[in-house]
Structure 1
Amino acid sequence: MRRIALFALFVGFSAPLLISAPAYAQATRTWVSGLGDDVNPCSRTAPCKTFAGAISKTAINGEINCLDPAGFGAVTITKSITLDCTGTFGSILASFTTGININVPVGANDPFRTVKLRGLSISGVGISGSVGTRTGIRGINILSAAVVEIDDVLITDFTQQGILDGRAIAGAKLFIRNSVIRNNTGNGISAGSTGGANATIIDNVQSINNAFGIAATTGNNISIARSVFSGNTTGVEADAGATMNIDSSLINHNTTGVQAASGNIRVSSSSVSNNSTGFSGSATTFGNNRFIGNSSLGTAPTAAALQ
């Protein structure tokens, strides 16, 4: 009887330990896999299944990597982090939602406030009735962060913007490189940050078959190089109070190629061709561009004063 009582006492003390989930310390590098499980510690040998599951186990300024080709789910990012699927096929299928929300607020005890996205495919295609169609809201929605870097990312088929930068902070930075933003009902890229003195750098980007290829609101300064804006309702647009410098780029087959206010779009070494209207508003040219095949040139751009 005494042995039975001692065994019962041991089981009583041990049971909570057996049924409670293990607690894991946050790691600077974690992993996701199509064969993973979000109850895992997200290590390389015990990966998580989704980005959302891995984020809570990844330290500030840490990195989540993809082990194999899979869809890893929509995610909200609230701290400095890198999502990197370079070398494999990592995707997010965002049906009836936004693919990635970025909201790293001021005062979040995060000295970096930097989000880096690499090697991702983000799609808004979903099923409506029995038909596959655009159902996702936005590809990437930037609410708050100091710096956002987007490299080698495909964003396609959303009902609103491919990328919306709506930060209300001054001096925000957005870098987009080697990426394709296509087939979105809204703008491919909306540079709508409202804090002032915001910088967006675009290099080797294709924004095609959207409403606006890129549109910038007051206070946003855009630099574009080696990029393509094609098949959009408007290729590039800047409101009064925004500036846009375009170099070595192609703006073609849009309804309107360049839509500018107050001469705030400056074009150099670029081709504005085969648009219904080449220019609307007052843009500036450095005299080394090619304007050909437009149904109408529209408002002839002003020659820049060279120094």
Structure 2
Amino acid sequence: MDAIVAVCDLYRSELDDCVATLRNRGLLISERSSQVRRLRSRNSRASRVSEQESLSFGESTREISHINTSHRATIEVFLWGAILVFFSHIGSSFGSHVASPLLNVIFDKQGASVFAYMLLPILTNIILRKHKRRGMSDSKTRFMLLTAALMQGITSGYVIDSTYISGEPLGFVTPLAIVMAYLGEVASVYKNRGALFVACATSALIANLGIGMLLNAITKTYELMTFAYVAAGLMTMKLVLKNVHRPGTGHSQQFFLLQSFTLIRALTFLICGYYKGEHVYARLW
């Protein structure tokens, strides 16, 4: 009987040892699996961080590298922007030489300045956003922008009707020259943004200065406005390339181009303008 008890104790002790070994092995496996899971989570977080960094780096280097912009979007922005600037100049001539007596009854110069350079752009921008939200057709949006450009040109022409500068470039030449450079250089420069900007700036400068030389209109104000127009055109190009994947931004960029040119012209008349027959600086009101 004692032998049987001893054998049972031996079996029990061996069974306890086996159970303890299995328990320890299970704990070890569980600890290793948790370590592996933590390591995998760290690696996944590190990979996500590195992926985000690579995306941000790619976004920054894309500014001077390849162009993914639809050619049609760029051409449309600058061609229609040139049309808006042209109609703004037509309106300015009309407001300065024809409609000035009528507008003098409605506005004084200060009120016309506030309307032309503050209220009208703000209202146009609000209407433009409303058109975008409602999904209005391109033809209606373009007609609205054309009307706004004409109204702004008429009122701004009335503001500067008695102010003169020694010379100014034709505003619509710059966007047209940028379009021509874009069409000619976008394939030959291997879609490099830096080279494209240089080509567009060079083309616009040559076109404006060439026309100025032909018309014998090269003056300090002509050169100043030329460089300012080219800078505004390049800023618009940068916006087009940056927001190409956002639908419905073309009209906003056309409006930005128009307002940039209008502001440049107004500041030039304000700073460098003089009354006819007097060599004194003139005010806009």
Short-chain TM bin: under 0.3
Which protein has the larger Cα radius of gyration, Structure 1 or Structure 2?
2
Higher strand share: 1
Higher relative contact order (Cα pairs below 8 Å, separated by 6+ residues): 2
Higher helix share: 2
Could you state the TM-score of these two structures normalised by the residue count of structure 2?
A: 0.23
